[in-house]
C-alpha cells in the first residue's frame, strides 16, 4: 500500500511554529479565569499555574492504528516541575488538519503527581501510514501543536527514518535537531544517552542544573526537564513520532543491571534506589506506552515495531539485564556473559527468524563490530561494548547468517563517532562470512566539536588491520535511512559546529548502501578530504570549550 499521507500537512508548524498554540486557541472554548488563574473544569484538580506546557509535546511508538502522545505539566521545570501535589485532568485532540477543523479523536486523561504530572495518552482508531496533528489542553492552556504519523500496514514500498544518540547538554548545543526537524521522516529512533548524569561544570558550553550527579527522583526529573527545555529538541519531538531506548548515562556511566560504575562508592542498596529513581524519571519524560511504566526496579523497554511487510524494528535494552563487564579479554572470549539476558535473547531470535518482513533492523546501544583501539600487534578493546561479550555476539551473528533471517542491519549509538562495518561471526578469521551490517551513528553533541584530522590519523593505521571497517568519522550529527524492498541507503548528516546556539549548517558527508540479499555494506559517497579540513577550519575560528565527557579508556583492555 502507499504509505504517504492522504492529506499532507504543513511542516512549517512543527519546524518554526511551536508557538502556534496561541493562534489556535480560538478553536477551543475558553474556561473561566478566577483571581488571575485559569479555573479547571468541574470535578478536576483546581487552578493551574501559567506555563504548564514548558517542556513541549511528543509522540512515540507508532502502530498502524495509533500512537502514544506525551506531555508533562511543568510550570517550573527545574524545581521538580512546580505543580501542586494534586491530580489534574488533561484533554487531548488528534486532527487531520493544521487548524483542528477535522478532529478525529479526542479524550481526557489525568496527570498524576506520582508520575511527575506526565501524560501518556495511547490513541487508537487512526488510519495506517497517515499524518496527524495533536495538542493538549489543561486548565484553559493549550500546548504547542505536534505532528505525528502512524505506522504503515500491508505491502509497503518505502520507510524513511532517522536515528540519533548521545546528547550531552554540557558538550554542545542540539543544533543537529534544528535540521533533523526539517527532514521528511516517518519516525526517529533514539539509541541512548538522552541525558547525562555528570556533575555541573562552568567551563563547558552549557552547565548542568543542580549541584552534583542526580541520585533522587526529583534530581533526575530536573535533569530530564533541563534537556527537554532545549527548543531544537522540542522541535524534533514535535515533528515526528520517536522510538526510544536508553544506554548508560540515563542512570550511571557503564552501569550493568544492579551494578554501578563504582561499586566501592555506591552500595547495592543505594544504587538500586538510584536505578529506580532514574527509571521513573525516564518513563515520565519519554513517549512510551503504559506497558513500559516502571514496576519496582524493572522497566520493560525492549520491544518490536513493525512497518508493514518491509521493516521489523527490534528495540534492544543492553543495560538492564547484562552481566557485569569482564575484566580481561580472556573472560570476554570464553565466559558465558550476556548483554541482553536469556529472555531478551530468545525474544530477539524469535523475532529475527519469523520472516514476516523484508528487513530486520536492530535499535541497539553499543557497537557489535570488533573495534580495536591500538595499531600494531597489541590489541585494545572497550569491554563495555559487544567486544566484551564475544560468546553471545558470535552466537547471535551465526543466527544472522542463517537462511531464517532476512537482511539484518544493526543501528548503534554510544560511540560519538560514525562507524560503518560488515559483521562476521569471527572478526579474526578472514574466511568468516559477512552476515550483516552495522551503522554506528555519531552523537548529537557529546564530545563537542571534534578534530577529524587527528581522529583519522589515529584510526587509519588500525583500519588497515580491520578490513571489516568501511567508514569512520567523529563529527556531530545524525543518520537518515531510506528503506525499500531492494535496498537501504543511509545518509550521514553532519553539522559544522555544536558550540554555537544557531547558524550551524548541515551537509551530507557520506552515504552507505546495504542491498537486500547481499550481506554487508558499501560506501556509496564520501565527501572529499578538503571538505573535512574546511569544516574544521570554520570550527577552529570560533570559541573553544572544555568537553564534559566520560573517559572512554576506562574499560579498555588489551
Query: Which domains are delineated in the chain?
Result: 152-541 (3.60.21.70)
> Residues near 296 by Cβ (< 8 Å), separated by ≥ 6?
276
Q: Given a cut of 90, is residue 31 above it in pLDDT? A: no
88 contacts 40 by C-beta, under 8 angstroms: yes
Place of cell 567508514: 471
The side-by-side arrangement of strands in the sheet containing 359-364 is: 303-307, 311-315, 359-364, 408-412, 436-440, 418-423, 469-473
Nine cell digits for residue 122: 495511547
The whole-number average pLDDT for the span 311-339 is 97
Nine cell digits for residue 236: 524534533
pLDDT of residue 555: 59
What is the maximum alpha-carbon separation in the chain? 77
Instruction: Give the C-alpha separation, 67 to 148, whole Å.
Output: 8
Among candidates 354, 416, 358, which has minimal Cα distance to 168? 416
> Residues near 522 by Cβ (< 8 Å), separated by ≥ 6?
470, 512, 513
Instruction: Give the C-alpha separation, 119 to 105, whole Å.
Output: 16
Label residue 541 by pLDDT band (50, 70, 90): low
Among candidates 323, 268, 2, 19, which has minimal Cα distance to 159? 2
Higher pLDDT pick, 104 / 558: 104
Q: What mean pLDDT, rounded, does the chain reach? A: 91
**pLDDT above 70: percentage of residues in the chain:** 88
Label residue 245 by pLDDT band (50, 70, 90): very high
Label residue 26 by pLDDT band (50, 70, 90): very low
pLDDT in tens, 155-207: 999 999 999 999 999 999 999 999 999 999 999 999 999 999 999 999 999 99
Among candidates 37, 137, 21, 38, which has minimal Cα distance to 90? 137
Q: Given a cut of 50, is residue 94 above it in pLDDT? A: yes
> Residues near 307 by Cβ (< 8 Å), separated by ≥ 6?
151, 152, 156, 159, 186, 313, 357
86: how many CB neighbours lie within 10 A of its CB?
13
Instruction: Give the C-alpha separation, 47 to 40, whole Å.
Output: 6
pLDDT in tens, 500-538: 998 899 999 999 999 999 999 999 999 987 666 666 666
Amino acid at each position: 500500500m502507499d504509505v504517504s499521507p492522504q492529506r499532507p500537512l504543513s511542516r512549517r508548524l512543527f519546524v518554526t511554529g511551536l508557538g502556534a498554540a496561541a493562534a489556535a486557541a480560538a478553536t477551543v472554548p475558553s474556561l473561566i479565569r478566577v483571581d488571575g488563574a485559569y479555573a479547571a473544569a468541574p470535578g478536576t484538580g483546581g487552578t493551574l499555574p501559567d506555563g504548564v506546557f514548558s517542556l513541549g509535546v511528543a509522540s512515540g511508538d507508532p502502530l498502524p492504528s495509533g500512537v502514544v502522545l506525551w506531555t508533562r505539566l511543568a510550570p517550573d521545570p527545574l524545581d521538580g516541575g512546580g505543580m501542586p501535589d494534586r491530580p489534574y485532568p488533561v484533554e487531548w485532540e488528534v486532527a487531520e488538519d493544521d487548524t483542528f477543523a477535522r478532529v478525529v479523536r479526542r479524550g481526557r486523561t489525568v496527570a498524576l503527581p506520582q508520575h511527575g504530572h506526565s501524560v501518556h495518552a495511547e490513541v487508537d482508531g487512526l488510519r495506517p501510514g497517515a499524518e496527524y496533528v495533536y495538542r493538549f489542553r489543561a486548565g484553559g492552556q493549550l500546548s504547542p501543536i505536534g505532528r505525528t504519523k502512524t505506522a504503515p500496514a500491508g505491502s509497503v514500498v518505502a520507510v524513511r527514518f532517522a536515528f540519533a544518540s548521545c546528547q550531552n547538554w554540557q558538550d554542545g548545543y542540539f543544533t543537529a535537531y534544528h535540521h533533523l526537524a526539517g527532514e521528511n521522516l516517518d519516525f526517529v529512533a533514539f539509541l541512548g544517552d538522552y541525558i547525562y548524569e555528570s556533575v555541573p561544570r562552568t567551563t563547558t558550553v552549557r552547565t548542568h542544573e543542580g549541584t552534583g550527579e542526580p541520585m533522587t527522583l526529583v534530581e533526575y526529573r530536573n535533569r530530564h526537564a533541563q534537556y527537554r527545555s532545549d527548543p531544537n529538541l522540542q522541535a524534533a519531538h514535535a515533528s515526528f513520532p520517536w522510538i526510544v531506548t536508553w544506554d548508560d548515562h540515563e542512570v550511571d556511566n557503564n552501569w550493568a543491571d544492579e551494578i554501578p560504575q563504582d561499586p566501592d562508592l555506591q552500595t547495592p542498596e543505594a544504587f538500586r534506589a538510584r536505578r529506580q529513581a532514574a527509571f521513573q524519571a525516564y518513563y515520565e519524560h519519554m513517549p512510551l506506552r503504559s506497558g513500559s511504566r516502571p514496576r519496582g526496579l524493572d522497566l520493560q523497554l525492549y520491544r518490536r515495531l513493525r512497518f508493514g511487510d518491509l521493516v521489523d524494528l527490534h528495540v534492544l535494552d543492553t543495560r538492564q539485564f547484562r552481566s557485569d563487564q569482564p575484566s580481561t579479554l580472556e573472560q570476554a572470549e570464553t565466559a558465558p556473559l550476556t548483554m541482553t539476558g536469556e529472555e531478551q535473547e530468545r525474544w530477539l531470535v524469535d523475532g529475527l527468524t519469523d520472516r514476516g518482513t523484508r528487513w530486520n533492523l536492530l535499535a541497539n546501544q553499543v557497537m557489535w563490530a570488533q573495534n580495536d583501539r591500538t595499531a600494531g600487534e597489541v590489541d585494545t578493546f572497550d569491554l563495555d561494548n559487544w567486544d566484551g561479550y564475544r560468546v553471545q555476539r558470535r552466537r547471535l551473528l551465526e543466527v544472522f547468517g542463517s537462511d531464517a533471517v532476512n537482511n539484518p542491519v544493526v543501528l548503534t549509538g554510544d560511540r560519538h563517532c560514525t562507524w560503518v562495518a560488515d559483521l562476521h561471526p569471527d572478526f579474526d578469521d578472514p574466511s568468516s562470512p559477512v552476515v550483516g551490517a552495522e551503522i554506528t551513528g555519531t552523537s548529537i553533541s557529546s564530545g563537542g566539536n571534534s578534530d577529524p584530522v587527528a581522529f583519522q590519523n589515529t584510526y587509519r593505521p588500525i583500519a588497515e588491520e580491520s578490513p571489516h571497517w568501511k567508514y569512520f568519522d567523529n563529527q556531530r550529527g545524525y543518520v537518515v535511512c531510506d528503506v525499500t524492498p531492494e535496498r537501504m541507503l543511509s545518509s550521514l548528516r553532519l553539522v559544522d559546529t555544536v558550540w554555537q546556539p544557531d547558524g550551524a549548517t548541515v551537509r551530507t558527508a557520506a552515504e552507505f548502501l546495504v542491498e537486500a540479499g547481499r550481506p554487508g555494506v558499501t560506501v556509496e559517497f564520501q565527501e572529499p578530504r578538503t571538505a573535512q579540513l574546511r569544516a574544521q577550519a570554520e570550527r577552529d575560528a570560533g570559541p573553544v570549550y572544555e568537553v564534559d565527557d566520560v573517559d572512554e579508556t576506562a574499560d579498555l583492555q588489551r
